[in-house]
Structure 1
């Protein structure tokens, strides 16, 4: 124990560390073991230096290190004392201030590349649910592989959010948990595609994850153009005949990035065509916010043996909860379950139980309404500021589609926007390589960017739109 009237002389030379670090470690151990009590005064620098045969500078350096760490504190003219222990909150999570997230606009740019949900209370719900699960989950349950039994509460909770009128008749066995919506797409393709050179179709302008999943499955990807009612039936039929398409990946409720919706009549036409040729349809519903009315039935309801439905909470609650769900059509549940088991053994119970707790929270509908309100605020601000330009939007969709005026190309506009401090996506990010050029951009709502900064970003974009680059025709 180090006290003013006690000789304490550890052998610092044999510690293998610099002497100041060895001395600091000895003092830490004294504090940890209770040899040094809170409020106890340590020897003066020169006194302790003499006792342990080091220079006063070594002791001063050790004291400073421990003061910086909070183990000691110094009183001017009074000496150096052992600090009171800090009270740590039970199972506290790391402060967000410890991390740098560029979407927080701290680098002076508005990151509007990808939709992100604002924290309007769901963060606290998630924290509370994590604490509750930590207290109530049996330790042995944290040591086992996931199974269809361990994810049953999550599948049941998800089933409670579904309306059979919209996705068709189903039971709990049709639902398979995935590691997010993208993983669900990949698992469905792995379950369905056959042959050495499979081919899939996607919307001509569509979510890039469709194409990525197709590439991972060694599939050729064909684009299907849209008109105002949805995917063009004639174009899809030609593609099916010419390329032997096995799967059509689409988003009937919210096309990412164009915000278009497929009309109920067009869905029926597409379903009739798919049924005639035996083509599976994957209906990705991730961008329709929870509790938002549908335009029409999903392809799963229209195609009982060929229609697949999938979604996730990433655009309604949080993207960090990596869970999604696929609802298989009649006769395909076992195949999809087998794919999930073979690829990852399923989603861990830590995530599935957390999802079940969150989705059944009594305040969740209030949270979703707040998310919608924030999205609406940003979208309506963009519409007001960019008034006069050709936009497609919905107040409940976290992005808008902006057709560029004459004089701007999509790539150039994105570069100019970045120079002005606004990051957005070009139409090229959503098109197949061989597709025709579309001069448009997608502007995402990022709830981590303050609304005032979003407004400033829209004003910068307005200035760019009003002043296209001069071109000389040759």
Structure 2
């Protein structure tokens, strides 16, 4: 480890993950790291180099793809012997990722759900399936199974290495058909009795309610303040209804974009622990590194974590990841097997391949940067109004000024060619909806088209038509 640390300190240019990779290459080239020698665990090396574990994991992934290193499940990462193949990264080292699907120039702009730009992910997916077509080791004649997903789990955990999940192993994860399917799998695993109760934030992701209805569960909304769920109200409602599950989006709250700070998460985790309440944390809108430890880290026996690649790479593949608390990992695997045996092998192959390639992370970084341009365009147009936003969250919450009702504003906006979602979409039937709307970032249209849509919304806010005022 000392040699890697010394070589890393001598690197002067470029991203940190490339500096780590180059340091290990140099150590291997001069035989300081011998064939089949075990490398330090990701978190140990990250601590020594004073960088994030995700940076080290990315470097290990690059070198594994190049054939410099190899990984073994449960044992670690080792120095390879003589290279036996030319990596895809070698073939594409000078490749410049460009848009394959051009953004639309249009006056009709939907802000219902986030839309990602194509910055190379379409080509990456094509290449993954092309490689699968020439790989004789892909089993396309047997039923899928969880054992076949191990390499995909490993790749996904590398992708999530910047997220504090607490102690985690590949066996703690199952793949799902997107986050919504993952949520249903968890609820099927933990809910008991004829009329279970699920708690949600008073403004919450509609998918929580849809999943509850499928399982004939009752939804109860928990009041919020500027920091998220109010712990005292959570405790009261959990005891009153004998609730079994809390569903929440604390890092990038959907729809308001708020983040629940660590002190509040700890208070919520304490309430859950006292009441035996499972917490399902859905971070599907995760684009940046997580802001705080997850509930799985804070509540090891009852905390669940769900995410997917839908908002960071593509929603087309429908790939999600469920990380179970250790006591329930066998139960969620059993639910998954009973539900659909396992993910289809071509999808598992593509997931493992995509999340093992440095090009994918480069594309994700480019997508994040492009989405940020659109966020800033929206803030530039609407910053004079009461909005909540984050650089790396693909939606903006707008509290409407006096004179507008949410439904009237949505109708007026649609008449101007812009579709937004009102607060009514995010509250239970008996809940109170504030006069607010959520505007998702649509990078499937050109930035010029998006800016034009924002200008039309600003004009409406400045000049509400008489027919739509309160």
- Please, what TM-score do these two structures have when normalized by structure 1? 0.75
Asked if 2 retains the 8 angstrom alpha-carbon contact of 1:179 and 1:322, the reply is yes
How many residue pairs get matched?
Answer: 371
Which of 149, 152, 156 in structure 2 is aligned with 1:151? 149
Could you tell me which residue of structure 1 aligns to residue 335 of structure 2?
339
For residue 358 of structure 2, give the secondary structure of its aligned residue in structure 1. coil
Q: In the aligned structure 2, how far is the partner of 1:105 from the partner of 1:443?
A: 19
Could you tell me which residue of structure 2 aligns to residue 375 of structure 1?
371
For residue 136 of structure 1, give the secondary structure of its aligned residue in structure 2. coil
**TM-aligned CA deviation for residue 227 of structure 1:** 0.9
**Per-residue CA distance 1:225-264 (angstroms, 9 max, x = gap):** 2111121011111111111110000011110110001110
Q: Structure 2: where are the runs of 5+ without partners?
A: 1-99
**Per-residue CA distance 1:150-199 (angstroms, 9 max, x = gap):** 21111111121233871110111111111111100000000000000000
**TM-aligned CA deviation for residue 104 of structure 1:** 4.8
Asked if 2 retains the 8 angstrom alpha-carbon contact of 1:191 and 1:336, the reply is yes
**Per-residue CA distance 1:64-85 (angstroms, 9 max, x = gap):** xxxxxxxxxxxxxxxxxxxxxx
Change (3 A) 1:287 1:137: farther
Could you tell me which residue of structure 2 aligns to residue 420 of structure 1?
416
After TM superposition, what 4+ stretches of structure 1 lie above 6 angstroms from structure 2? 471-474
Aligned positions of 1:52-451 closer than 5 A: 104=104, 108-138=107-137, 141-163=139-161, 166-289=164-287, 292-451=288-447
**TM-aligned CA deviation for residue 344 of structure 1:** 1.3
Q: In the aligned structure 2, how far is the partner of 1:332 from the partner of 1:377?
A: 41
For residue 392 of structure 2, give the secondary structure of its aligned residue in structure 1. coil
Asked if 2 retains the 8 angstrom alpha-carbon contact of 1:110 and 1:457, the reply is yes
Asked if 2 retains the 8 angstrom alpha-carbon contact of 1:391 and 1:401, the reply is yes
Q: Structure 1: where are the runs of 5+ without partners?
A: 1-95
**Per-residue CA distance 1:266-321 (angstroms, 9 max, x = gap):** 000000010001000001111111xx232211000011110001110101000101
Q: In the aligned structure 1, how far is the partner of 2:315 from the partner of 2:369?
A: 18
**Per-residue CA distance 1:101-138 (angstroms, 9 max, x = gap):** 9x9566x4101110121101111111111111111144
Q: In the aligned structure 1, how far is the partner of 2:440 from the partner of 2:388?
A: 12
Q: In the aligned structure 1, how far is the partner of 2:459 from the partner of 2:163?
A: 46
Change (3 A) 1:316 1:472: closer
**TM-aligned CA deviation for residue 379 of structure 1:** 0.8
**TM-aligned CA deviation for residue 325 of structure 1:** 0.8
Q: In the aligned structure 2, how far is the partner of 1:411 from the partner of 1:165?
A: 38
Q: In the aligned structure 2, how far is the partner of 1:452 from the partner of 1:473?
A: 29
Asked if 2 retains the 8 angstrom alpha-carbon contact of 1:111 and 1:449, the reply is no
Q: In the aligned structure 1, how far is the partner of 2:209 from the partner of 2:372?
A: 30
Asked if 2 retains the 8 angstrom alpha-carbon contact of 1:165 and 1:301, the reply is no
Deviates more, 1:454-463 or 1:355-364: 355-364
Q: In the aligned structure 2, how far is the partner of 1:244 from the partner of 1:431?
A: 21
Q: In the aligned structure 2, how far is the partner of 1:150 from the partner of 1:293?
A: 28
Asked if 2 retains the 8 angstrom alpha-carbon contact of 1:113 and 1:424, the reply is yes
**TM-aligned CA deviation for residue 462 of structure 1:** 0.7
Deviates more, 1:254-263 or 1:355-364: 355-364
